[in-house]
Amino acid sequence: MKICIILFLFAFLACVTTVNAQDNYSIPVDSWTYNVIQELQTRGYLLDLSPGFKPYHRIRVARALMKLQQKTDISSLPQSDRWLIEKLDHEFSYELDLLKAKEKRPDTTFTGGRLSEEVFANLAQGDYETQIRRQTGVPPNRQK
């Protein structure tokens, strides 16, 4: 009986760990990034992110940062504002790079997913279709 209980607990813990690992696209609610986002919101930035809808998804914060960077001359902001934006920019650099790659190549549908470093490096070099299709198992388009 004890062995069954131990096996059940082991299986339960393995399932919980797997579920938590799959939820790595959300920012944990105790993350330092929420303090920075809140401070920027009090200064009038990142107002697209609603404080009532937490946890934020990483790609959503990256989109708000990208929108801010496109609409605002960051270099003209006060140093304290620039410092906070740069902290977030560094934290969400992966997602920002994905959004920039998607902006260059809008027909791709990989935004929001985690890619291997090899695939991401190939994306940065411009080899989009081959690497994404290889990783996802989608056959390449056949032209007639």
Angle separating helix axes 79-91 and 32-42, nearest 10 degrees:
140
The predicted-structure confidence for 4-32, as pLDDT tens digits, reads as follows: 566 555 555 554 443 333 334 899 999 99
Q: How confident is the model at residue 20, as a pLDDT?
A: 37
Q: How confident is the model at residue 86, as a pLDDT?
A: 96
Report the alpha-carbon distance of residue 102 to residue 10 in Å, rounded. 41
The answer to whether 64 touches 46, Cβ cutoff 8 Å, is: yes
Parts of the chain with a pLDDT under 50: 15-24, 111-112, 143-144
What's the predicted TM-score (pTM) here?
0.59
DSSP-assigned letters across all residues of 71-92: HS-GGGS-HHHHHHHHHHHHHT
Mapping DSSP to helix (H, G, I), strand (E, B) and coil, where does residue 41 land? helix
Direct distance between the N- and C-terminal alpha carbons of the chain, in angstroms, rounded to an integer? 64
